[in-house]
Structure 1
Amino acid sequence: AFLAWFICLSLFLFRKTFRVSHTIVGVGLLLAPLMLMRAEFDQLFRIRGTPPLSGIYVYNAYRVSDDEIRFFYMKSVEDNQPLQYWEGERWNSVETICVCPLSTLLSQCTVEAHLAVIHSIDTSTLTLRVPSGSVEREFDLVDVRPLSSTDNYLYPHKFGVCIQPVYYHADWTVFIQFFEFWIASGATKFFIYVHSVTRQVRSVFEYYSKLLGNQVEIISWSDLPVAAKDRGDFSRDPNTRVFRAGPYAAINDCLLRSRWQVKYLAMMDVDEVLIPKPGASLVKRIEEIGEWNPFADTFSLEWRYGMIEVEQMKRRVRTPRNMAFGDIADAKIISPDNVQFDYGRLRKVIVRPERVRIVDIHNTIQHETFPHLTDWMPMRYETLLVNETDLKVLHLR
């Protein structure tokens, strides 16, 4: 593109020397960029004539009850191959539901997450295939059924935090702040999906994993597998079509992974904190709100931006011993009127994992049905809009 415009500029500047008419200059301005950028347009047009991106990518499969298996998988929306599972003597179709966040509808991120539901006998493995292929894959099932009767169920953890895939991250101080805030707030379970981080960030994960033991789960979240010759090819590499390393698949995998382990699960970013009503502990406040609303599965919180002066503090930090957290108390909350509309009105959620079927980063997409229906109980669990005076999310920037 630069070379094209350089030629056009030369034609314009030296039009008198070479006695080039204004008409020829105008035609040159139009044709030179098109000729030299032809390869880019060819690639875009060629995509329409090639086969769609193929491949179904399954991470984990979970047994959620004695007769139901669920998993989230990634595939291109252009790939209409049905997915089948083996049950004893025949292949049956898998029930699928597309997770369609707005970002995939408005962009070319067409490789997205789908929920798969299988009503199956009590088996410890799952075999999948597509009818048009000869490859079959067997998966060991992760058992996330309750450990005991769900009446007055005692959760191993009252409150946990789930972080969507961390990718290309180098700021290790943010993760120390993250762990220290949530530990002080009463969180006892952490699910952190990791795509790519620096050695220093990895060291922070290792330190807190050693400190907290099985309270910390670091889940490796790699790129989707692709042949070396196709890597980076927009028409053949599915990773070029995945939105931000696939957060929707990851947080829903986290939803399944945390069932009956964690009573309240916060779906947060690493630079977000929860601010409860003054005088109340965070976990106690969440439990109070949950007890007042027994049919709620999602607690939708106001999302506020907080400005914090960190540059001076970061210049002082050379090792973790230099870390201090007093600056958080001085964060300035920005009015929603001064924030871009679509961001200023977004919310963040805390969920009851076993009550939610599909979750988005900012809301619940599909609620579970209530297990013991009566005439006066709702058919499905509900989302509760929490007043910001009771509890809100502060996004530190």
Structure 2
Amino acid sequence: MRRRGSKIFYSLLILIMVTFFVLTINIYTGPYTQYENENESIPRPWKPESSELKKRRDLSLKEIWLQKRINRNRGAFSKFKGIYVREAYRVSDEEIRFIYLENQDNDMTLKAQISPSVGWQPVEYSCFNATCFDYLFCSMATRFGSVKLAPTTPHQPYIHLTTEKSDEFTMVPVNDVRLHPTSHRYPHTLGVCLQPIFFFTDWTVILQFFESWIAQGATKFYFYLHSYTWQTKRVLDFYKDSLGDNLEFIDWSDLPVHARDKGSYDRDPNSRVFRHAATAFMHDCMLRARSHVKFVANTDLDDLAVSSSLNISDFLENASVRHSDAAQFKVDWILSHQPQNWDPIKNPKDVNFVLQSVRVLKIANIRYDYRVSKKMFHRPERVTNFDMHSVYRNELAGNRNQQYTTVEMFDNPDLYFLHLRRFERHLLNPLPVEFNNNFNGSLLMKLNTRMLDQLAKRIDRTEFAESPLIPWTMEARQTMRDLEQCRREAFGSILDDQNQMCQQSSSGCEGMLTAGVPFIKAPQTWINIAHKALFNTYVEKTEKFSLFS
């Protein structure tokens, strides 16, 4: 009996020691204990090997062609002379930055004036990548203007911009996004920059977007608006009432163009802008988020971020402790199918997300450029130039002559994006698709439950819950089909590498819409600071009387 009691005692003692050991490990390491998939590096220009040039269809490969073309046409006369700007940002005591669009062969110098006492100074400019051109044969390129200041310069709400040959200047608003020099505190840990929605009809995915991010810790949203339906506006207005200042709407219009030139490939500057200035949007939002949000995701509505803990902000906080110099965390972006189930949905109460129906494709079955593309969470004040999938340059880390780093977290089950393609075609002979049957779908079911609980509480006892938002399904399907067609056709031409026309341009798609949807459009937000015109003047110089004249 005594020996049996001793065995029980020693068993309990061992159990207590093991429990203590496990708890100690968790306290000091947290729930994310596998770090072998994390690779930290400094961004450097990427150059593909020659053997990959035909295999890859990565957008960045178009830069090679563009460089050859610009060398061939260096002396050619530009058809598009406009220089378009929106807002500026004071990023430090010594610098104001702004983003502008101009044709890639424009060589006009910009000038800036902080105050009349300082005078005019040339604007320094840079490009977002090594070639200084945007994507897919679209010649309207994104530029970054920089104005240097004396450190003691007081903040001014406006900056004056002009061009070297202009006799007018433009007043551009300046947003102060400086960090506190010693003890900055971010109002938000996790924020989301959403690409401009254009000709948008699927209002149900907006609920999925907000609820999925909120369920995983996001508290700040920058929502860019180009054109959308009245149903979409009802949903956005509801979330604005619910989230208040944590949701910002940013109008993002087309570039200004004469009505007689609108839709012309040779005269409308929007015909040369890639997807409503996507590159400019990303950088505008990242500048806007500086000092307000610690981690920011640049994303689209068909991207679903997933964290194994369903807490992305905590995951990033832990990762930033391990990588204190990180400017961004780069994670997998996995192509997936989310079946449409639109027809029964008449009002917001009918939406149930059905994430459990999402099917993840096998990596080998995904087109190569989508297979290798990734998504990122940025530290806004640490990144300089990037696009949706790549980093070109980060800020310098403190007083060191070295950039902040990029942390790659590939094949990491704790954080990734699913790219939910929702466009469906009823093909007679569809390509065979292989799905990853080993994907952990239970996590999506858990996320779906949390999202439904949140939505139910949010719409409880509101008129919005049962507001009829019909008809919409037929218009949505046709508009989505038209926009998908516009990826390959526009201006009466097939868009490919042979005819070398701008693909997915802002003005190319509008003329292809066939559903007759009356879209709400953003008001004009771009200013052409290079605009020239003839005007009457109603003042003349007075002649001075002189005895010697």
Normalised by the length of structure 2, the TM-score is: 0.59
Instruction: Assess, with a 3 A threshold, how the Cα gap between structure 1 residues 195 and 321 changes in structure 2: closer, same or farther.
Output: same
In structure 2, what is the Cα distance between the partners aligned to 1:79 and 1:195? 26
1:282 maps to 2:312: yes
1:21 equivalent in structure 2 = none
Give the 5 Å matches for 1:34-53. Answer: 51-53=78-80
Shift of 1:280: 5.5
1:390 maps to 2:414: yes
Q: RCO greater where, 1 or 2, for CA within 8 Å and sep 6 or more? A: 2
Runs of 4+ in 1 over 4 A off after TM superposition: 48-51, 100-106
1:112 equivalent in structure 2 = 141
In structure 2, what is the Cα distance between the partners aligned to 1:367 and 1:299? 13
2:162 equivalent in structure 1 = 129
User: Which of 320, 324, 328 in structure 1 is aligned with 2:352?
Assistant: 324
Farther off after superposition, 279-288 or 180-189: 279-288
Shift of 1:286: 1.6
User: Which of 102, 125, 128 in structure 2 is aligned with 1:75?
Assistant: 102
1:243 maps to 2:274: yes
Shift of 1:258: 0.2
Secondary structure of the 1:140 match is strand
CA RMSD between the two structures: 2.0
Farther off after superposition, 179-188 or 212-221: 179-188
Shift of 1:101: 8.9
The answer (yes or no) to whether the contact 1:53–1:78 under 8 Å persists in 2 is no
1:257 maps to 2:280: no
2:124 equivalent in structure 1 = 95
Shift of 1:100: 4.3
1:380 equivalent in structure 2 = 403
Shift of 1:244: 0.5
Farther off after superposition, 51-60 or 168-177: 51-60
Shift of 1:237: 1.4
Matched letter for residue 317 of structure 2:
E
Q: Deviations over 1:282-337 (max 9, x none)?
A: 22112111111101101111110122222xx3222111000102x21342211221
Instruction: Assess, with a 3 A threshold, how the Cα gap between structure 1 residues 105 and 69 changes in structure 2: closer, same or farther.
Output: closer
In structure 1, what is the Cα distance between the partners aligned to 2:161 and 2:373? 38
Matched letter for residue 149 of structure 2:
S
Instruction: Assess, with a 3 A threshold, how the Cα gap between structure 1 residues 65 and 89 changes in structure 2: closer, same or farther.
Output: closer
Shift of 1:150: 4.0
Normalised by the length of structure 1, the TM-score is: 0.81
1:180 maps to 2:233: no
2:47 equivalent in structure 1 = none
Larger relative strand fraction: 1
1:10 equivalent in structure 2 = none
1:333 equivalent in structure 2 = 360
Instruction: Assess, with a 3 A threshold, how the Cα gap between structure 1 residues 105 and 359 changes in structure 2: closer, same or farther.
Output: closer
Secondary structure of the 2:342 match is helix
Instruction: Assess, with a 3 A threshold, how the Cα gap between structure 1 residues 301 and 69 changes in structure 2: closer, same or farther.
Output: same
1:138 equivalent in structure 2 = 171
Q: Deviations over 1:324-369 (max 9, x none)?
A: 02x2134221122101101111001100001111221112221001
Shift of 1:226: 1.4
1:11 equivalent in structure 2 = none
Shift of 1:49: 7.7
The answer (yes or no) to whether the contact 2:129–2:386 under 8 Å persists in 1 is no
Secondary structure of the 1:112 match is strand
The answer (yes or no) to whether the contact 1:52–1:78 under 8 Å persists in 2 is no
Shift of 1:208: 0.4
Secondary structure of the 1:132 match is coil
Shift of 1:157: 0.3
User: Which of 216, 233, 243 in structure 1 is aligned with 2:247?
Assistant: 216
Count of residues in correspondence between the two structures:
340
In structure 2, what is the Cα distance between the partners aligned to 1:185 and 1:280? 5
In structure 2, what is the Cα distance between the partners aligned to 1:222 and 1:191? 16
Gap regions ≥5 residues in structure 1: 1-47
In structure 2, what is the Cα distance between the partners aligned to 1:163 and 1:112? 21
* Amino-acid identity (%): 34
Secondary structure of the 2:275 match is helix
Secondary structure of the 2:388 match is coil
Gap regions ≥5 residues in structure 2: 1-74, 422-549
In structure 2, what is the Cα distance between the partners aligned to 1:384 and 1:362? 13
